[in-house]
Copies of this chain bind each other. A is one copy, B any other.
């Protein structure tokens, strides 16, 4: 099954989780080695600027997901 069957989600919170998934998947596509990614984790998870940059990527993806769901307006 596809890792991205749809951009539609039941709730904003699920949409946010999808935005995080989209953000991580691009990293995975560039660095497919699980161990290499795990090695970097403590480095960026303890660096304020890396965390802010991560949050920026999630924000862009959340914008896309939110639009795809008409901002969950009717819920």
| Given A49-B44, A52-B54, A59-B57: A20 and B11 interface contact (C-beta under 8 Å) | no
Q: In the complex, what residue of chain B is closest to A60 when comparing beta carbons?
A: B59
| Given A6-B12, A16-B4, A29-B20: A53 and B49 interface contact (C-beta under 8 Å) | yes
| Beta-carbon contact of A75 and B6 below 8 Å | yes
Give A residues with C-beta under 8 Å from B.
Answer: 2-8, 11-13, 16, 20, 22-27, 29-31, 36, 40-41, 43-64, 66-68, 71-73, 75
| Beta-carbon contact of B54 and A27 below 8 Å | yes
A22 CB to nearest chain B CB (Å): 7
**A43 cross-chain contacts in B, Cβ below 8 A:** 48
